[in-house]
Structure 1
């Protein structure tokens, strides 16, 4: 069990991670550079599956995804809550499923690095909370019958 404050920290950290990782996908120019970087990394790591060059339609979807995730990340940074973290956990599990599907169908193994973060943050955000217990104070006189 984790504290409510720790949960909110996890929501913020996951949002910051998403912001850093997806901001590059917001524009065609920056997304092109990100994909070139992935292609270089794939080549350096001698991975069998190359990173493809995106056509204009695929680039549009990358830019839309980047834009939506950046806005979602900013929301979670500025307004973190347990419920927002739970919605984010669901989204992360969906992302992980589609990433595994993509790799199983020929996408670059580099995606699996992101999948680890998706699953890790999803689990961290759904951990049960340890709600602080209210301390019961008995300020009324004893009801033991003595002195009454």
Structure 2
């Protein structure tokens, strides 16, 4: 069982991880640079080259990257436990779609995203010890409010 302060550190750490991982996906230009590296990595792992992305694919990638980046910055600046719980739920959803894509395509690159996603989701699902009084007992620290 984690203390609230330890859980806040965990939420912040997952957010920093997300900022570093998602930054290349936030613009079409950075994604195109990253796509080449991801494609080569996928081939190196025994997969096939990633498909070419058209403008619509780049739009969807950049929209998703932008939303996740903003969400990650929020959690970095204000790592509330409830944000960690919501982030865990989002990670389970993302993991579901990654697992589906892995089953459909068999591309090994997906494992490099799926495993950390599940690990961060599980970590942010750990029980949190409620403290009696003190700063950790404020309503602002509520897990779901």
What number of residue pairs does the alignment pair up? 133
Unaligned runs of at least 5 residues, structure 2? 134-145
The answer to whether the 8 Å contact 1:51/1:108 transfers is no
Q: Match for residue 40 of structure 2?
A: 40
Q: Give the Å deviation of 1:39.
A: 1.0
Q: TM-score, normalised by structure 1?
A: 0.85
CA spacing shift, 1:92–1:75, aligned 2, 3 Å: same
Q: Match for residue 102 of structure 1?
A: 101
Q: Within 5 Å, which residues of 2 pair with 1:13-52?
A: 13-45=13-45, 47-52=46-51
Q: Match for residue 123 of structure 1?
A: 122
Distance 2:127 2:109 in 1: 31
Deviations 1:67-108 (A, max 9, x none): 111100000001111111110000000000000001111162
Q: TM-score, normalised by structure 2?
A: 0.86
Q: Match for residue 114 of structure 1?
A: 113
Q: If each structure's helix is expressed as a fraction of its own residues, which one has the higher value? A: 2
The answer to whether the 8 Å contact 1:26/1:66 transfers is yes
The answer to whether the 8 Å contact 1:49/1:107 transfers is no
Equivalent position SS for 1:117 = helix
CA spacing shift, 1:107–1:26, aligned 2, 3 Å: farther
Unaligned runs of at least 5 residues, structure 1? 135-148
